[in-house]
Amino acid sequence: MALKSTIFKADLQIADMDRQYYDGHMLTIARHPSETDERMMVRILAFVLHASEALAFGKGLSADDEPDLWRKDLTGAIDLWIEVGQPDEKRIMKACGRSSQVIIYSYSGMSNIWWNQTAGKVERAKNLSVFNLPAATSQALAKLAQRNMQLQCTIQDAQVWINGDGESLLIDLLTLKAPAAAAR
């Protein structure tokens, strides 16, 4: 018998001063049985960083042809493709061909090894951005995971503050690859 996903609910209040985006979102997140709290919380962080009414969670670990999050335009074309973790270069290049913008949020102590092996193979992707979340930060983020979460998120000057369950966490992402100027 297959294990079922665990359902989490997140009440997000987002104040993104960098994008002038201020809104609340009630998310229902299905955590795959093989997914950790750390990975799920990095997915939520990615949502916070790109929040919009059109941003949606993909099937994630359950589907090879969908990202963790994506935003489609009114024609159904993929405008934004977001991956969490350390996808292989074939998946990255396929995403870059299907979407206007691709963003990867890597995390864990192995991210540097993964990026050193992958960077040269994806350098020609002009619409790709890659960010790394330090392992200590992603682990601290995982501690905020609860079946019912209330998170206040503030973004200013590329710094992210997440408050939840009486804890406050500052998140600084390290840019590993920025998109080419022509892709902006």
Round to whole Å and give the CA distance between 62 and 70. Answer: 15
Count Cα neighbours of 159 within 13 Å in the Cβ-side half-sphere.
6
Round to whole Å and give the CA distance between 6 and 122. Answer: 34
Q: What is the pLDDT of residue 38?
A: 96
Round to whole Å and give the CA distance between 109 and 135. Answer: 5
Domain spanning 7-183, CATH class: alpha beta
The model's pLDDT over 48-101, given as tens digits with 9 standing for 90+, comes to 999 999 999 987 666 677 999 999 999 999 999 999 999 999 999 999 999 999
Round to whole Å and give the CA distance between 106 and 132. Answer: 5
Q: Quick check: 182 pLDDT over 60? A: no
The model's pLDDT over 93-149, given as tens digits with 9 standing for 90+, comes to 999 999 999 999 999 888 999 999 999 999 999 999 999 999 999 999 999 999 999
- The closest alpha carbon to 114, from 99, 124, 104, belongs to 104
Lowest-pLDDT choice from 4-8, 10-14, 179-183: 179-183
Domain definitions of the chain by residue range: 7-183
Radius of gyration for the alpha carbons in the chain, expressed in angstroms and rounded: 16
From residue 123, give the alpha-carbon distance in Å to each of 23, 69, 120.
35, 22, 5
The model's pLDDT over 21-51, given as tens digits with 9 standing for 90+, comes to 999 999 999 998 889 999 999 999 999 999 9
Higher pLDDT among residues 34 and 16, named by residue: 16
